[in-house]
Amino acid sequence: MSEAVGLVHRHGDHLSVTAGSGVELLRYVYRAEDAWEAPKPYIHPLRTLSGQVVTGYRPNDHRWHKGLQMTASHLSGANLWGGNSYVHGEGYLALPERVGSMAHAGFDEMSVRDGGVRFSELLTWHPHGGGLWAEETRRVEVHDVDAAAGSWALTWSSAVTNRREEPLRFGSPTTHGRPAAGYTGLFWRGPRAFRDGRIITPDAEGPEVMGQQAPWLAYSGEHDEADGHATLVFVHSPGNDHSGAGGAHPAHWFVRNSPFAAVAPSFAFHEELVLDPGATLTRSYRVLVADGAWDRDRIASAVGALAW
């Protein structure tokens, strides 16, 4: 049975979700931040039930990496990822005129019920010049808070509608010529201590799964300061790879454990995803946050129990 959870809204700044034990499980920050970092809402800190932080925030190598966030590294020539922009043949360049933003436009739902929390947010997506390129409805749910198992689950769903009069082209550094850099979409940056952590999928292990497909991917790391490990399991909704807006476009995993910990279930790793005017791209993911270094069998069992 799920444990009780609470929700507090600090207006204009963030939402905080807290377990019955008093541990803040997540903080969803929606205030505007530095323009160079492509302002957008994000989750940080993200914590295990024992209170250990499992996200990184503004690391010195990539200041625009902020916990768990929805990104768009290459979007019709714009960079809604943040920082330098990748240009084929020239590498990463400081091109502030390409850096856009995602802006909070309001919440249309906040609820605490059935041992969980759910909130729904409206956002607008903008290029550097400030025009409206897309509108997003985002829903975040906290559920299956299980003290006995030492785990809880988060479901993130985004529906992005193209408001331009021409297609939106979602890409990545890999679609623009850089191998093994297909990051875009939902992106997690782990804490610095999680470097060299263990990467597991149902049938493989290690950073060699970069660019491959799998229904889930788990990352285990060891904490600094506190003894022990944590495991995060990232799960695709079965509907993500079906035909729809953008066509049948199977996701591939972007994952690194060196020089830092990062995971993204990229929907534009090897090929661009094209979203027609007025069309809506819908994607849903689950993140299981667990204390301990879980093995493949335990992960598979937990994923199976979290039916969509």
pLDDT digits 0-9 by tens, 141-154: 999 999 999 999 99
pLDDT at 270 over 70: yes
**CA distances for 82 relative to 41, 110, 155, 184, 228, angstroms:** 13, 29, 24, 11, 33
pLDDT digits 0-9 by tens, 21-72: 999 999 999 998 999 999 999 999 999 999 999 999 999 999 999 999 999 9
Q: What phi and psi, each to the nearest 5 degrees, are found at residue 31?
A: -70, 155
Confidence of residue 228 (pLDDT cuts 50, 70, 90): very high
Confidence of residue 266 (pLDDT cuts 50, 70, 90): very high
- Which whole number is the average pLDDT over 285-305? 97
pLDDT at 242 over 70: no
- Give residue for tokens 């739902």: 109
d(CA 153, CA 100): 30
Helices (H), the chain: 296-305
d(CA 197, CA 281): 32
Confidence of residue 239 (pLDDT cuts 50, 70, 90): confident
What DSSP state is assigned to residue 133?
A: -
Q: 10-16: which pairs have CB atoms within 8 A and are 24 or more residues apart?
A: 15/110, 15/119
Question: What pTM value is reported for the model?
Answer: 0.96
Q: To 5 degrees, how large is the angle CA 36–CA 38–CA 40?
A: 140
Structure-derived torsion over alpha carbons of residues 178, 33, 277, 77, reported in degrees to the nearest 10: -30
| Six token digits for residue 208 | 């060699």
Strand partners, 113: 116
For residue 285, give the nearest of 50, 51, 43, 80 by alpha carbon.
43
pLDDT at 1 over 60: no
Which amino acid is present at 71?
T
Q: What phi and psi, each to the nearest 5 degrees, are found at residue 296?
A: -60, -40
Q: What is the mean pLDDT of the chain?
A: 95
What was the pLDDT predicted at 308? 81
What was the pLDDT predicted at 241? 65
d(CA 238, CA 235): 9
